[in-house]
Amino acid sequence: MPQLRGYTLTQWLGSGGMGEVYQAWHADTQRTVAIKLLRRVEQAERFRNEAAVQATLRHPNIALVYEFFIEGGQSCLVMEYIDGPTIEQQIRKAGPMSEETAFRLLEQVASALQYLHGKEIVHRDLKTGNIKITRSGTVKLLDFGLARLAGSPKLTHQGYLVGTASSMAPEQFSGESSAASDCWALGVLLYEMLTGYAPFGGNTESEIGRLIRKADYIPPRKLNAKLSRTAERLIDRLLTVSPQRRLTAAQVVEALRNPQLLDSPDWLGQMRKWWERVKP
């Protein structure tokens, strides 16, 4: 089997936006890892960015990066190996999730985003294919190739869209992104987990963008009649065109831990009052 700096590649796991991902074994540390190998040389700067951003992060719902090195001209990113499916794979296999399961997973993802946003990092590509579920039910956020630290140099040419079109917020189609853009993606994630469908379909990127800019999606209860008003309200407050009106990741975490905030007839007013009490 091929080796890279003491790591024996044992199994191909899949392809990411910039490279191939393999399971590997390091005999000295007795550790199973995932190694991403850069496929496109022109993406080297973005690959280094992924390594630099993710290596600084320590959160139970974010996959660890162990090291980054270049071996024989090959850029290699060594990461925590997650033994479990992505949320996308889980939905394809078993269909929509129960609210209890979806809320439990969403809270973990929102917690990871709250941590990132506290460090002024925007993920910019949150989607079902970038989130894995361990065998114990713990969420692990992956793929920081598009993540950006506030104030850091832009790695994307002007006019080039950053992200996956179906999960992008309206402002991302104009080249803008912020923590609120990640929160829009949280709404897309919840919608997909509860219905099995993406809220914004289309045959072309421009068609998807047109629907997203208007937040024009089928009400989730039409696809899953069992959904609660709480779930609908949460999706509605995340899939709103104005970034200023979206719930923050911290507010999503609190709402999921205290669902009575969303069940109140004046739930938005209750959220505002709560936020005024606890915000820094």
Say which CATH number the domain at 19 has: 3.30.200.20
Q: How many domains does the chain have?
A: 2
What's the rounded Cα separation, in Å, for the pair 158 and 269?
Answer: 39
Are 171 and 273 in a shared domain?
Answer: yes
Together in a domain, 225 and 272 = yes
Please say if 216 is a catalytic residue.
no
Choosing from 27, 60, 80, the residue where a domain stops is 80
Q: Are residues 52 and 183 in the same domain?
A: no
For residues 9 and 1, is the Cβ–Cβ distance under 8 A?
yes
206 and 272 share a domain? yes
For residues 167 and 103, state if they share a domain.
Answer: yes
Are residues 108 and 21 part of one domain? no
Q: Are residues 132 and 266 in the same domain?
A: yes
Residue 120 and residue 188 in one domain: yes
The pLDDT assigned to 180 comes to 97
Q: Residue 155: what pLDDT?
A: 41
Catalytic residue among 28, 83, 125, 266: 125
Cα 33 to the center of its chain, rounded Å: 21
Report the predicted TM-score, pTM, of the whole model to 2 decimal places: 0.87
Q: What is the pLDDT of residue 278?
A: 55
Q: List, as own/partner pairs, every contact residues 153-158 make where C-beta atoms lie below 8 angstroms and the sequence separation is at least 24, other chains included.
A: 155/45, 155/46, 155/49
What integer pLDDT is reported at residue 159 of this predicted model?
43
Does 119 share its domain with 32? no
Residues of the chain with pLDDT under 70: 16-17, 40-43, 149-163, 263-280
Whether residue 18 contacts residue 40, with contact meaning beta carbons closer than 8 Å, is answered with yes
Give the domain-ending residue among 23, 57, 80. 80
Q: What single-letter amino acid sits at 70?
A: I
Q: Count CA within 13 A, CB hemisphere, residue 47.
A: 24
Structural domain range at position 50: 3-80
Please tell me whether residues 59 and 124 are part of one structural domain.
no
Same domain, 104 and 209: yes
